[in-house]
Chains A and B, each alone.
Chain A
Amino acid sequence: MAVTLTEKAARQVQKHLAARGKGVGIRVAVKPSGCSGLSYALEFVDELGAEDATFESFGVKVVVDPKSLIYLDGTELDFVREGLSEGFKFHNPNVKGQCGCGKSFAV
């Protein structure tokens, strides 16, 4: 399996990368944050780590560290507009329960 982008998401990433002027792709990760919860994180990638896995979607490199991959395998990232805000949304087949805000989850 893999972690993929929708075409819309990929176009957005490319736009951001171009505006930023540097970077080889986008990193998708799961981060445990102290006493709080698990959450998704999205970052630009300037350098690849030795253990990183990379996937290609519509010409965009998606980078995932091995620990996050356990939780993210099969995830598709979309770019959506909801009301006034717009941003990336995770469709993660591993997720069983999701909290109201959509950023924390239990696998």
Chain B
Amino acid sequence: MLLTIQEPTPAAQAVGIDLGTTHSLVAAVIGGKAAVLAGDHGVLLPSVVSYRPDRVEVGHDARRWQTEDPQNTIVSVKRYLGRALDDLPEEFRLPYRFAKREGMVRFETRAGSISPVEVSAEILKVLKARAAQALGNEPGGAVITVPAYFDDAQRQATKDAARLAGLNLLRLLNEPTAAAIAYGLDRETEGIYAVYDLGGGTFDFSILKLTDGVFEVLATSGDPMLGGDDFDQTVCRFLMAQNGIDSLEPVDYRRLLEATRLAKEQLSLDEQVSVEVELGRGKKLSFVLTRQTFEQLTANLVQRTFVSVRQALSLAGLAVKEIQEVVLVGGATRMPCIRRAVAEFFGKLPLTDLDPDQVVAIGAALQADLLVGNRARGDWLLLDVIPLSLGIETLGGVVEKIIPRNSTLPIARSQEFTTWKTGQTAMSFHVVQGERELARDCRSLARFELRGIPPMAAGVARVQVTFQVDADGLLSVSAREINSGVEASVSVIPSYGLSEEEIAQMLKDAFAHAQQDLEARRLSEQRAEAMRLLEAVEVALAEDRALLDEAQFNVITQALESLRTAMEGRDWQAIRNGIEALNQATVEFAAQRMDQSIRRALAGRTVESIAE
């Protein structure tokens, strides 16, 4: 084939977002270097969203309302993602009012009943705008980090938030893995890294092996309900008890909590702090807190983190001394007691040269840059694992494990079922996540209903159900009757997530006052998708035209032309149909290309070696 000269491809810009419990950040690779992007008040955006009578405020602006108007001001929303009211310890229910409902909690605010997904989307929108300003363009895609220990419902909720915020989510990335990428690329040393990540609301611990451009997660563990906030809560309860206070108004509690948080931060530098808190109705609370008292109060929280650490070591089959480097991530690891405990446990000083608040966003930006095809920092491969086992509920509420925790992603497992009634055309499964033996002790993820099984005599139908977990750690289920080859349709009823209809409704609500906006957005989304597809197919044709016979080639070029024509119009439905048609037309071609490339991968040089 002969080549022509192309216009230079502008470097695609993608961002990395650390959607944190207390702070959120956005970073991007600019000129080959990853940097955290700053807003008006610095790089950290407080993860606070306040529903004002006339608008929504996010970040520093919202923060001032958290004591004045706590019920309409949501802080630490990450704790509520994919969570039901029953999952929440008492201290995280205050000061909010929750809607009475099953499934994921909803905050009752003056703006109505709001899902944590919508609150998170508000934070993401601000970060997206910040990135657009810094880059001079809307970011083409985003990698968003989640705690490694997030279950499927929490991951799905994060993904939904990205969609609501209008971000093109390239991938969900585990926070410790992101940190390992940042450190690994920075230090260029191979070996076994441990990442100790204590954030505002979650604790994550991962062990990774870095070799030859591969980041392989060996084990991950954590505590989704343990973070820096818990240190504040503990001290708060101590102060209340010491001053003979049984309960506080929501406003006062927030004030005390805020004062405690500041005291905690100060204690990382000083041996003691004195604090005075103005409470409502002229009350005042003053106290002196020493580092020693603080550390005594919170010692068991620190110890709790090492339960997860030992668990991960055992899962990876490693001894403490085999860990070459320990990386600290998360603002809470600034506490001297944590650093000391980590150093003692591992017998070596932890690495802290990258800012523990920023390292996750930096790693996410590097991964985002790689995903959109820039290789300024070389090429690498990320092999992550599923943090919790997936299983289905069987007779008597016992869980049958389908995918064991710590399996490398992506992974799929199939299971065969049969019908128990003659002519039965439907069946359903309850999928749970966790390590316990009884379904009620695990997290309920969803119920999957299969329909369209061909009617047969009882016990004759062989329904093969495939559970696929993708690289983001998200589950999808498909089913097929083996004798007839008929695909069963699968509908998902998420236990804590949002249904497809709910999301559609939220998207609609967001544009409720401007139907045109919604249409315009759909049009631009479909056009962007069509552009991506056209480009991908054109590249494929240029490279592997030889794999197609004349008839196949014509089918593809026709679909290609139809889509081009549709793109000139303003009918997003027509574009979507065109995309679907072109996708269908290229199924076989894509499969052939893939087969060929696997053979090449083993025969010739690989992307890895090109990167060197």
A43–B611 CB distance below 8 A: no
Please provide the chain B residues from 567 to 612 with a CB less than 8 Å away from any CB of chain A in the complex.
593-594, 596-597, 600, 603-605, 607, 610-612
**Chain B residues with Cβ under 8 A from A13's Cβ?**
5
The answer on a CB contact under 8 Å between B603 and A87 is: no
A67 → chain B closest CB, angstroms: 6
Across the interface, A42 reaches (CB within 8 A) one of B6, B375, B593, B605, namely: B6
Q: A35's contact among B2, B542, B594, B612, by CB below 8 Å, is which? A: B594
- Asked whether A103 is an interface residue with its Cβ less than 8 Å from the other chain, the reply is yes
Contact yes or no, A80 B2, CB < 8 A: yes
- Please tell me if the beta carbons of B610 and A32 are within 8 angstroms of each other in the complex: yes
Cross-chain contact A44 with B1 (CB below 8 angstroms): no
Q: Please, how many angstroms separate the alpha-carbon atoms of A40 and B539 in the complex?
A: 11
Across the two chains, which residue of chain A brings its CB closest to B32? A50
Q: What is the distance, in angstroms, from B418's C-beta to the closest C-beta of chain A? A: 37
Kindly list chain A residues whose C-beta atoms are within 8 Å of the C-beta of B3.
40-42, 87-90, 103
Contact A104:B543 (CB < 8 A) given known A30-B610, A36-B597, A71-B610: yes
Q: Which of A26, A70, A80 has the most CB of B within 10 A?
A: A70
CB distance from A86 to the nearest CB of B (A): 6
Tell which of A33, A36, A37, A102 touches B1, judged by Cβ atoms closer than 8 Å.
Answer: A102
Docked complex Cα distance between A87 and B542 (Å): 13
Q: Are B610 and A26 in contact (CB under 8 A)?
A: no
Q: Are A33 and B543 in contact (CB under 8 A)?
A: yes
Name the residue on A nearest B8 (C-beta): A43
Contact A88 B5 (CB under 8 A): yes
Would you give the shortest CB distance from B170 to chain A, in whole angstroms?
A: 13
Report how many A-B pairs have Cβ atoms within 8 Å. Answer: 93
Task: Using known A-B contacts A36-B597, A104-B543, determine if residue A88 contacts B604 with beta carbons closer than 8 Å.
Answer: no
Q: Is the CB of B605 within 8 A of A26?
A: no
CB A63 to nearest CB in B, in angstroms, measures 10
Given A67-B375, A107-B604, A107-B605, are A43 and B543 also a contact pair (CB < 8 Å)? no
Is the Cβ of A36 less than 8 Å from the Cβ of B2? no
Is B245 interfacial (CB-CB < 8 Å)?
Answer: no
Chain A interface extent, by class? 35 or more
Inter-chain CA distance A25–B542, complex, in Å, is 24
Docked pose: A2 CA to B422 CA in angstroms: 75
Q: Which residues of A contact B4 (CB under 8 A)?
A: 42, 87-88
Q: Are A37's CB and B8's CB within 8 A?
A: no
A103 to B604, CA, bound (A): 15
Q: How far is the CA of A82 from the CA of B6 in the complex (A)?
A: 20
Distance of A5 from chain B, by nearest CB (Å): 12
Answer whether A35 and B8 are a contact pair too, CB < 8 Å, given A67-B611, A80-B2, A107-B605: no
| Alpha-carbon distance A37/B1, docked complex (angstroms) | 15
* Chain B 529-547: CB-based contact to A (< 8 A → 1; otherwise 0): 0000000000110111110
The interface bits of chain A over 18-38 (1 if a CB of B lies within 8 angstroms of the residue's CB, else 0) are: 000000001100101101111
Q: Are A103 and B543 in contact (CB under 8 A)?
A: yes
Within 8 A of A (CB), among B1-16: 1-9
- How distant is A74 from chain B, measured CB to nearest CB, in Å? 17
- With A37-B597, A43-B8, A88-B3 given, can you name 6 additional A-B contacts, CB distance below 8 Å? A36-B539, A37-B600, A41-B6, A42-B5, A44-B6, A99-B544
Chain B residues packing against A (C-beta within 8 Å):
1-9, 32, 375, 379, 539-540, 542-546, 593-594, 596-597, 600, 603-605, 607, 610-612
Q: What 5 A-B pairs have minimum CB-CB distances, sorted nearest first?
A: A87-B2, A106-B604, A100-B546, A32-B607, A101-B1
